[in-house]
Structure 1
């Protein structure tokens, strides 16, 4: 590991202001009270019936397929140093990879990690392959495996983790592959259907600004899927929108589709998490909480020279041994 990468992984900045101070300011502002109103359950159920989130996100990725919409998330090496220091041939599953803004810094920062990356948009996956293939990352061909998956609807494929792996039972040698260098995804998918073969689960899962795009009632099922493909002792790294983030306050009353849940004009949704909401979701499906906090960071909008108060959730959760 290079000195520069090590330095990036050693420091992590997350506190420009106190979340409790922001909470008081927001809740004392009458113009923002509509954010705290209860949302009628009957109205929310009707909203959910008319929404197709996967289609909305596919269209979103098609519009932004050039990849300029996102910047590389290099801060993840600071936020989750395990991604840099993990052992040789450790396996990571990136859920909702988008254009590769999470994948690229991880592949750069760790020359041995193996990354599986999925998304519900086949178009953006092709673009991600191009971005990663055009990079100067060492041995990327043998360390990066993108695949199409709408995990909230269909779950993860069997080749990722067989029934033995998902049940945390002892793995049979002929059921699971430990070396993926000569395995291609289409062949492995075929093998899994015919013989139950799999890669044996993954050591890490990253959910980076992905869970907030899932309908609230579907979040537990989504997390159960992530839990099932993690090896015992494996870690899930979580970063997403926090309660009272600047983007939440910009939504208008008619964009609410649930409590703390909003719909953009393009049909994509966003949920804004409190610490308790995240804790209840993850612990409720079996995870052990390792780290959980608000990240409160001020950033400058260069266009209008205004300071923006961003709130994100940082979480690290472990699957029990």
Structure 2
């Protein structure tokens, strides 16, 4: 039976949508031009931030103690709608394309990976789809996020394993063998942890990494537009460079020296550690927003 005109149009639209998605993914995999925030803008951001003051200690302790609960509420409310899939990961961290060499039976060796703070899987599923020789562990301290990962149509035993874990107190070795991982990713994760608990989190991660394994890091950097916005509206600052959002989740903004010291103290070697600037333009409002991130790679010795 011949297709109706409406069915043909729907099929053509579907093919067009798929082509657009593929084109967008390919664009995201291409290197980006380097850009920087001007000294004038950095000085302005610094002045705004330095004027801000922390809220009362009672509320600081409350938000820190309820971090996991507030993130779980976040995922219950937003489910999979909030974050977009991170197709840019392989552009920034080419290690996920695999390693040369073969394992048993002359087959490509499996690369064993972990994403800490996996959320609902916006990182793991795009990477698994493009790289058949990866096995991905994924953990988050929000139980509802892990449930959403396990409900995903691409969640398959033998390719990934998701579990609930608070990096600051739950040993990863309860689930993952010690010294077994080739790659660990920390993408906008450590910023959700108060400074005083970061050392415990990094030690925990180190335990499951192979000597020579790589940790891929990306997170918020000091003087990012989001930090300026927080400090422009007093009542969000918990500690130096640490802020609370309206929903109770926290965000810490890192400097290069701070993050290098954190990892090098635990025996990691810094491969690279730099600020990344992304200018976001809102054409409707005719404004540009300077996003500032910190991206790094560390090797376990």
Return closer, same or farther for 1:32/1:147 CA change in 2, 3 Å cut-off: closer
Does 2:264 align with 1:243?
no
- Residues 55-107 of structure 1, C-alpha deviations (whole Å, 9 max, x = no match): 11111111111x11010111111000011133531100000100111112211
Return closer, same or farther for 1:296/1:233 CA change in 2, 3 Å cut-off: same
Structure 2 residue aligned with 1:169: none
How far apart are 1:159 and its partner, in Å? 3.6
Structure 2 residue aligned with 1:175: none
Structure 1 residue aligned with 2:158: 142
How far apart are 1:22 and its partner, in Å? 3.3
Note if contact 1:114-1:144 (Cα within 8 Å) is conserved in structure 2. Answer: yes
Note if contact 1:212-1:240 (Cα within 8 Å) is conserved in structure 2. Answer: yes
List alignment gaps of at least 5 residues for structure 1.
135-139, 166-200
Structure 1 residue aligned with 2:66: 52
Does 2:83 align with 1:70?
yes
Task: Between 144-153 and 67-76, report the one with greater CA deviation.
Answer: 144-153
Structure 1 residue aligned with 2:103: none
Over the aligned positions, Cα root-mean-square deviation in angstroms equals: 2.7
How far apart are 1:209 and its partner, in Å? 0.4
How far apart are 1:256 and its partner, in Å? 0.6
Structure 1 residue aligned with 2:294: 313
Structure-1 separation of matches of 2:40 and 2:183: 34
Does 2:44 align with 1:25?
yes
Q: What is the aligned counterpart of 2:248 among 246, 267, 271?
A: 267
Task: Normalising by structure 1, report the TM-score.
Answer: 0.76
SS class of match (1:154):
coil
- Residues 138-160 of structure 1, C-alpha deviations (whole Å, 9 max, x = no match): xx432111112122222214241
Which aligned pairs between 1:164-175 and structure 2 lie closer than 5 A?
Answer: 165=179
Number of matched pairs: 269
- Residues 17-71 of structure 1, C-alpha deviations (whole Å, 9 max, x = no match): 24655322323x5x54324x6x69xx65872366311111111111111x11010
List alignment gaps of at least 5 residues for structure 2.
1-22, 101-108
Rg larger in structure? 2
Task: Normalising by structure 2, report the TM-score.
Answer: 0.81
Note if contact 2:25-2:87 (Cα within 8 Å) is conserved in structure 1. Answer: no
